[in-house]
């Protein structure tokens, strides 16, 4: 049967168009994800250079982080169908970089702080490439996986808030390890959703995957700082 005859069958052209749309969303997501790293690094640099987040204190910093993060995420979802959504997302990533400065400053206080940050960055890149590759290979539906990951993320959030007051290094290490597992799973789940067509908006897709990467990097850095930080 030739190509012209095949195209007359119902759904043939639609399936080709659907695949093209999914590829376009995935491609735009990866491009916007790469772009979002620029304001993140800029925000982190501003935070470290000015010490603004360190000056807030642990409790106030947590309040600002939660209020700012959820406020930005709400705004992103409201504007995701326009170019404004891209600008709001980039502003959000700057804010997230700023909030990361407190941890970065603590790690940079170690003699080997710069190498720990680069190791965390490299480890996060390996996790991302691994999950992205796995998402293209796995054929089964992973939609049920999201429910368990969401519950795990809620437990992590609650335990993290408790640890703000406890200041337990052992609990922080445990939560960081669990966060790497949970958000690596989220990374696989979120990329797979785009590939399967479950997420058709590249701004929403970028937001989800960015948060996964951010949490994996932050957790890796915390573990490396606790376990491998060298003091002068």
Nearest to 224 by CA among 128, 136, 110: 110
pLDDT at 13 over 60: no
Average pLDDT over residues 200-213: 96
Task: Name the least confident of 4-18, 93-107, 120-134, 137-151.
Answer: 4-18
Separation between Cα atoms, residue 117 and residue 103, nearest integer Å? 10
Tell me the C-alpha distance between 12 and 212, whole Å. 35
216-94-225 Cα angle (round to 5): 40
In the chain, where the domains are located: 21-228
pLDDT of 63 higher than 90: no
The structure tokens 């406890």 sit at 166
Helices 202-228 + 83-108 axis angle, to 10: 0
- CA-wise closest residue to 89 among 170, 226, 207: 207
> CB-side exposure of 198: number of CA atoms within 13 Å?
13
- CA pair distance 223, 215, nearest whole angstrom: 12
Residue 229 has pLDDT above 90, yes or no: no
Looking at residue 9, what is its pLDDT?
41
pLDDT for position 1: 40
- For residue range 64-80, list pLDDT tens digits in order: 988 999 999 999 999 99
**C-alpha–C-alpha distance, residues 185 and 8, integer Å:** 41
The pLDDT of residue 75 is 96
Percentage of the chain lying above the pLDDT 70 cut: 93
Question: Residue 186 — pLDDT band, cuts 50, 70, 90?
Answer: very high
| pLDDT-above-90 percentage for the chain | 63
What's the pTM value of the predicted model, to 2 decimals? Answer: 0.89
Q: Minimum mean pLDDT among 8-17, 99-108, 135-144: which range?
A: 8-17
Q: What is the DSSP letter of 128?
A: H
- Copy the structure tokens of residue 133: 């590759």
Greatest C-alpha distance within the chain = 75
- pLDDT score, position 19: 78
In this structure, what token pair is assigned to residue 5?
A: 């005859």
pLDDT bin (cut points 50, 70, 90) of residue 135 is very high
Mark out the alpha helices in the chain (DSSP H runs). Answer: 3-6, 12-50, 52-56, 58-79, 83-108, 113-137, 145-166, 169-196, 202-228
């Amino acid at each position: 049967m030739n190509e012209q005859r095949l195209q007359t069958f119902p759904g043939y052209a639609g399936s080709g168009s659907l695949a093209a749309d999914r590829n376009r969303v995935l491609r735009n997501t990866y491009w916007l994800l790469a772009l979002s790293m620029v304001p993140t690094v800029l925000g982190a640099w501003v935070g470290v250079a000015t010490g603004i987040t360190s000056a807030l204190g642990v409790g106030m910093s947590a309040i600002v982080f939660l209020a700012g993060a959820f406020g930005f995420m709400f705004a992103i979802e409201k504007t995701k169908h326009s170019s404004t959504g891209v600008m709001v997302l980039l502003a959000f990533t700057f804010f997230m970089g700023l909030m990361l400065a407190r941890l970065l400053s603590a790690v940079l206080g170690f003699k080997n702080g710069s190498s720990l940050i680069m190791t965390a960055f490299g480890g996060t890149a390996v996790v991302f490439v691994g999950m992205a590759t796995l998402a293209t290979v796995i054929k089964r539906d992973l939609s049920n996986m999201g429910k368990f990951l969401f519950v795990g993320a809620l437990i992590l959030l609650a335990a993290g808030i408790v640890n703000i007051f406890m200041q337990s290094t052992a609990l922080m290490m445990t939560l960081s390890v669990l966060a790497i597992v949970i958000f690596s799973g989220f990374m696989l789940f979120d990329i797979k959703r785009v590939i399967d067509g479950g997420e058709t908006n590249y701004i929403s897709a970028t937001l989800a995957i960015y948060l996964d990467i951010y949490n994996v990097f932050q957790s890796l850095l915390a573990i490396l700082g606790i376990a491998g930080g060298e003091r002068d």
